[in-house]
Structure 1
Amino acid sequence: MPNHQLFIILKPVLLLLALSLFTACKTGERNKSFQGICGTVIFKSGNHMPGPDRPQPKGQPVVRDVLIYELTKIDQTEATDDGFYSKIKTRLVKQVKSGKDGQFCVSLPPGNYSVFVREEKGLYANLSDGQNNIFPVTVEKNRRSTISFDISYQAVF
């Protein structure tokens, strides 16, 4: 059997083998564990009051500096109206910028953190827990913590 005939017979087998190796590599990449915080930053403004026959606005993804601090209590900052903070007394751990789609990811060691975004009026966060921790997020070993960070100081609910 000439070599070109052998190649014609083996070509589909070789293509299938290459495709399965490529797929296995891609699957392995997706299954790699990521440890940290991933999320989306959404800017909301205007009327978000529920009403009949009125769809809820979703907001717009935005590019923002996302700042990750050690877990921060309200009394460890100077808080102003509308969720703005200054003079944060805990340590800044990492800073990352969200993309045009509002998405960001930051790798972090296991621990408890507070998340803020930078706005013109200062650092912003609109959530706290029962212990007065500002926008608390827990990162567990080999786990991804997923958040949605809504910037809502110009919205009415």
Structure 2
Amino acid sequence: MNKFSNLIYLFILVLFVFSSCKTNKTSTQGIKGKVFWVEGNQMPQASQETATSFSPAGKKPVIRTINIHQLTHINEANLGDYLFGNIETPLVVSVETNNEGEFSVMLPPGKYSLFTVEEKGYFASIFDLDGYIHPVKVEKNEWSQVEIIIDYKASY
């Protein structure tokens, strides 16, 4: 009976020690998303055969480099016809999409602006009401999901 009691006490002690230990879980957060390319005439058109409208060519996943800057106001970047030139805010990180246009990057909590790197500049087409360019907020232990549609060669 004495051995049995000792085993119970040992079990309770081990259980107490492991249950009181904090696990050192690393927190991860950042931005995940997908990048698409759209070009050409995107207006619905009537077909003579069916007299109904059809959907124009869809968005296609694309390989691109995405530059993630500190939150950037419209006054902190030079905008040309369709692309941005000089961006005054610091570059935080660049990330490459895969063949399916997908990307993911771990970032500390904060607010960021996203730009795709194009041949003649940087593209972004989303602005908030305060004039910030493609703003994305990263919260602690959360992944922000984004979809980037590069459509400066499309007409609507």
Q: Structure 1 length normalisation: TM-score?
A: 0.75
Larger proportion of helix: 1
SS at match of 2:103: strand
**Structure 2 residue ranges without an equivalent (≥5):** 1-25, 46-51
2:41 maps to which of 36, 47, 52:
47
1:103 to 2:102 alignment? yes
> Percent same amino acid at aligned positions?
40
**Structure 1 residue ranges without an equivalent (≥5):** 1-31
Q: Aligned partners of 2:72 and 2:98: how far apart in 1?
A: 25
Q: Aligned partners of 2:139 and 2:58: how far apart in 1?
A: 29
Give 2:115's aligned residue: 116
1:77 to 2:71 alignment? no
Farther-moved stretch of structure 1 (113-122 vs 33-42): 33-42
1:64 to 2:58 alignment? no
Q: Aligned partners of 1:151 and 1:33: how far apart in 2?
A: 31
Partner amino acid for 1:80?
G
Give 2:146's aligned residue: 147
Give the length in aligned residue pairs: 125
Task: Output one character per residue of 1:75-100: Cα deviation in whole Å (capped at 9) or x when no partner.
Answer: 10111112x11211111001100011
SS at match of 1:40: strand
Partner amino acid for 2:126?
L
Q: Structure 2 length normalisation: TM-score?
A: 0.76
1:136 to 2:135 alignment? yes
